[in-house]
């Protein structure tokens, strides 16, 4: 019996019933346009001095700072879960920090040591190292301060030396996250001059001055130190065209891949770059985004695991080639149907 309401609906829709393709799990899976995989994930890991227990990061529930040996364990775990790449960030003790971030150039610093250890034990996994001075400076900025300004060219000189130290340690991908002008060209030239032609560059191209980096700064120990803000080098969040110029410039200078950061509040930028520039575009789901989901989860206000998968899938839908996320191991376990 066809009711009057059904006739009216069929007239209005021309008989198209969109819900037909949602009626059960198998058809939803069959018509799904994008699907997250462990190979889409990049796992950021915090390295600390010394041995022993992992140290929790208070503002990032479930995230820890690990000894070098525990970083190797994480790399093994990543490999077993199908995560292709880990990103290393150091917690540098205040006594090793100075105005010029000298520790960044130390070939046996935490990042270089962890890189060597992971390369020796788990050679099948990729390692991404950040190029920026903020974990090493006494003022918490990414570059060299002259007076009260961050000097672009003096910073780039030091960043090239940092990049080389990391490449010599065996880093596969360098991620300049400093937002200095011309740094990609100079790092590429420095790498090539030493024969590191295969070392890749994933440029943090559209990196915005953001409130979402707060917990990360706690994790690397630069939060309390930062004088002022990073708005003279990181992008203004009112801008979209500028992101395109930044990324095009980094590609012209030799970047192999580009990145947008933060992630979720900037999905429009991820979508634009991935469509308009023919280059793999990555997104960084930052510490603050992670903290927001975890805090709501811990309060019982949202289902954190569902929010995790939904947020990561949004990056894929927007066109990201991959996502840096603190959820990486948990999301990969969820995808494999393993206990979380
Ligand atoms: C360093 C750097 C930052 C992040 C990655 N690399 C912080 C900053 O620029 O202040 C943030 C990562 C996160 O919030 O998860 N330049």
Q: Which two tokens stand for residue 292?
A: 């927001």
pTM of the full structure = 0.97
The residue contributing the CA closest to ligand 1 atom 10 is 213
Counting ligand 1 atoms within 8 A of each CB, the residue from 101, 216, 222, 264 with the most, and so the one to mutate, is 216
**CATH number for the segment(s) 38-335:** 3.20.20.70
Q: What ranges do the domains of the chain cover? A: 1-32, 38-335
Distance CA 30, CA 84 (A): 26
Q: What is the pLDDT of residue 1?
A: 64
Q: What distance in angstroms lies between residue 134's CA and the mean position of ligand 1's atoms?
A: 9
Number of Cβ within 10 Å of residue 116's Cβ equals: 18
Which one is catalytic: 119, 207, 227, 316?
Answer: 207
Choosing from 137, 162, 213 the residue with most ligand 1 atoms within 8 A of its CB, the one to mutate for a pocket test is: 213
Ligand 1 close to Cβ of residue 286 (< 6 A):
yes
64 forms beta bridges with 56
Sign of CA dihedral 29, 31, 35, 37: positive
One pLDDT digit (tens) per residue for the chain, 340 residues: 679 999 999 999 999 999 999 999 999 999 999 999 999 999 999 999 999 999 999 999 999 999 999 999 999 999 999 999 999 999 999 999 999 999 999 999 999 999 999 999 999 999 999 999 999 999 999 999 999 999 999 999 999 999 999 999 999 999 999 999 999 999 999 999 999 999 999 999 999 999 999 999 999 999 889 989 999 999 999 999 999 999 999 999 999 999 999 999 999 999 999 999 999 999 999 999 999 999 999 999 999 999 999 999 999 999 999 999 999 999 999 999 999 9
- Residue 216 Cβ inside 6 Å of ligand 1? The answer reads yes
227 is catalytic: no
Is the C-beta atom of 130 inside 6 A of ligand 1? yes
119 is catalytic: no
Angle at which helices 241-252 and 267-276 pack, to 10 degrees? 50
Q: Which atom of ligand 1 is nearest to the CA of 324?
A: 15
Atom of ligand 1 nearest to the CA of 222: 10
**241 CA → ligand 1 middle, Å:** 22
């Amino acid at each position: 019996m066809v009711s009057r309401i059904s006739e009216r609906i069929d007239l209005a829709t021309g008989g198209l019933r969109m819900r037909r393709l949602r009626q059960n799990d198998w058809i939803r899976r069959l018509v799904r346009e994008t699907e997250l995989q462990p190979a889409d994930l990049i796992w950021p890991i915090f390295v600390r001095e010394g041995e022993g227990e992992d140290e929790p990061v208070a503002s990032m529930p479930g995230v820890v700072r690990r000894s070098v040996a525990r970083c190797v364990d994480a790399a093994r775990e990543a490999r077993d879960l199908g995560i292709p790449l880990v990103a290393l960030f150091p917690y540098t003790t205040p006594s090793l920090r100075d105005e010029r971030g000298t520790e960044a150039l130390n070939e046996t610093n935490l990042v270089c040591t962890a890189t060597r250890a992971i390369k020796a034990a788990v050679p099948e996994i990729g390692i991404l190292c950040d190029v920026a001075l903020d974990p090493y400076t006494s003022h918490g900025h990414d570059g060299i301060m002259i007076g009260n300004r961050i000097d672009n060219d003096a910073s780039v000189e030091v960043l090239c030396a940092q990049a080389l130290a990391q490449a010599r340690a065996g880093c596969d991908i360098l991620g300049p996250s400093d937002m200095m002008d011309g740094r990609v060209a100079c790092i590429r030239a420095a790498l090539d001059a030493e024969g590191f032609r295969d070392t890749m560059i994933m440029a943090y191209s559209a990196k915005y001055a953001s409130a979402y980096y707060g917990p990360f700064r706690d994790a690397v120990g630069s939060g309390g130190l930062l004088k002022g803000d990073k708005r003279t080098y990181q992008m203004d969040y009112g801008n979209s065209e500028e992101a395109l110029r930044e990324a095009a410039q980094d590609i012209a200078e030799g970047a192999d891949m580009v990145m947008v950061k933060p992630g979720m509040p900037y999905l429009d930028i991820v979508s634009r770059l991935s469509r308009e520039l023919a280059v793999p575009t990555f997104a960084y789901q930052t510490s603050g985004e992670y903290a927001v989901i975890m805090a709501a989860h811990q309060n019982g206000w949202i289902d954190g695991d569902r929010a995790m998968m939904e947020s990561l899938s949004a990056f894929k839908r927007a066109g990201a080639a991959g996502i840096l996320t603190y959820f990486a191991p948990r999301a990969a376990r969820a995808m494999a149907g393993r206990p979380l």
